[in-house]
Structure formats: C-alpha cells, structure tokens
Amino acid sequence: MADQIKIRAHLQADYAELRVLLQHPMETGQRKDEKGQIVPAHFIQTFSITVNGKALIDGQLNTSIAKNPLFGFRTRGIKAGDRLAVSWQDNKGEQRSDEIVVA
C-alpha cells in the first residue's frame, strides 16, 4: 500500500489553508530505465477531499503531474474539530485514504 497522505490544515481568521501531499511515483510511461526499457505509466487519476463526509474537492490528474504532488487550497467554513479526509485512486486500481481532525 502507498505511503500515508500528509494533510495539514492551518486555520486563519476567516478561511483555512490546506496542504495535501499525495505520495506516489507518478510515472508518465515515457521514461526509460537504466536498461532502456520503458517504465510503465503509473499515476493518480482521481483524488477527493471531504469535510465531515461532505465533498469539498473532486479532482482528476494525469501523467503530467510530478512525483509526490503537493497541493494547496484555501477554503472557508472549516473549523476546529472538523474531519478532513483525502483519498486517491491510480490507473492501476491502487488507492489510499487518510483523515485528520482539524485542530
């Protein structure tokens, strides 16, 4: 299984600053290894962020995103005690989901 998703939520006066690090190799399918063989494509296709079970972000990615992509968002309506969950699924069917409680 993939490494844990790192989720940070920093509450400001009237908004929350979210940072999400999706740990994944993100291979494009165009790179060659040291033997000259093409490394198969392996990338996150979909990811989502929910707050207390309610969808906040539903996104789609492709091969042009770098290894271990980091995303930053600003949003309103998040407060201390809310449950923030992030999940992804890749083109090989692997998936990961992690959750934090906003402090």
Res 41 pLDDT > 80: yes
In the chain the beta strands, taken as DSSP E runs, fall at 6-11, 16-21, 44-51, 54-60, 70-75, 83-90, 95-101
Give the chain's mean pLDDT: 95
Per cent of the chain over pLDDT 70 is 99
User: CA-to-CA distance for 54 and 63, rounded, in angstroms?
Assistant: 28
* Structural domains of the chain, count: 1
Q: CB within 8 A of 30, min separation 6: which ones?
A: 38, 63
Res 57 pLDDT > 90: yes
Whether 37 is in a domain gets the answer yes
Whether 27 is in a domain gets the answer yes
Whether 1 is in a domain gets the answer no
Q: How confident is the model at residue 64 (pLDDT cuts 50, 70, 90)?
A: confident
So what's the pLDDT on residue 30?
93
- Tens digit of each residue's pLDDT (9 = 90 or more) over 65-79: 899 999 999 999 999
> Which residue, among 43, 51, 37, 45, has the nearest Cα to 80 in the 3D structure?
51
Q: Which domain holds residue 75?
A: 6-101
What CATH number is attached to the domain comprising 88? 2.60.40.10
So what's the pLDDT on residue 65?
86
Q: How far apart are the first and last CA of the chain?
A: 27
So what's the pLDDT on residue 97?
98
